[in-house]
Amino acid sequence: MTYEKNDDLALDCLLLAGQIMMESGAETYRVEDTMLRMARSQNLDAQSYVTPTGIILSLGEQQKTKIISISNRITDLHKIAKVNNISRKLTLKIITLEEAYDQLRMVQKTNYFLPIWLQILMSAVSSACFLILFRGVWSDMPAAFLAGGAGYLALLAIQHVSKVKFFSEFFASFIVALVAFFAVRFGFGYELDKIIISGVMPLVPGILITNAVRDLMAGHLTAGIAKGTEAFLTAFAIGSGVAVVVVFH
């Protein structure tokens, strides 16, 4: 009975680690490597199959196999670092399997994101900084600041109402372009294109594109293609939102 309970705990612990990492935007090969290292530390011959939408984990032919679905995916590098740290401590025998599982559950429950107002502020500040990187004029910084903040606010608002990622990104980029257009129209900005490009930069799926390429290079073709497709849809949504304003202005 104890042997079965240990196996169940190991399965739950490994799956929880993989789930947190996948939901936080980790690369597929990193998730598999972390889970297998944790399994080897417990003398378990585990096999895993990880995709962006689910994880299959088995402890062997004669042992149990469990499947978990991944429905939500965000970018939270702090949680990934936390899981990696727990994995290292378990591998080095600093903590037990039970302690690792408890710590993972705490990481899963904790929200490490900054307050909403600070996220919006940082999005606005980064947009203004991107304007200078794109060789825009300094007088356009207030317009880029406002467009970036308004776009990210729209993104969070639509995400709260709808779980369809395409719509939130489309309306966010639409708001960015709309704010930029009115800023130029009323004389608060001069270069419409650079204001729009700077404003949508916080929406660009840079980490998603990077992970797709890294998964493809690591041989995880299914995950790489899936993430690449998701990144393409995000880019298409951003471009569509901007195009609506640019075409009809």
Which tens digit of pLDDT belongs to each residue from 143-163?
Answer: 999 999 999 999 999 988 887
% of the chain with per-residue pLDDT over 70: 96
Q: CB-based burial of residue 1 (10 Å sphere; 0-12 exposed, 13-18 middle, 19+ buried)?
A: exposed
What average pLDDT score do residues 22-34 get?
90
Please check whether residue 173 is in contact with residue 203, taking contact to mean a CB–CB distance below 8 angstroms.
Answer: yes
Rounded CA Rg of the chain: 22
Expressed in angstroms, the distance from the first to the final Cα of the chain is 71
Q: CB-based burial of residue 122 (10 Å sphere; 0-12 exposed, 13-18 middle, 19+ buried)?
A: middle
Is a pLDDT exceeding 50 seen at residue 2? no
In angstroms, the CA 205 to CA 207 distance is: 6
Which tens digit of pLDDT belongs to each residue from 236-245?
Answer: 999 999 999 9
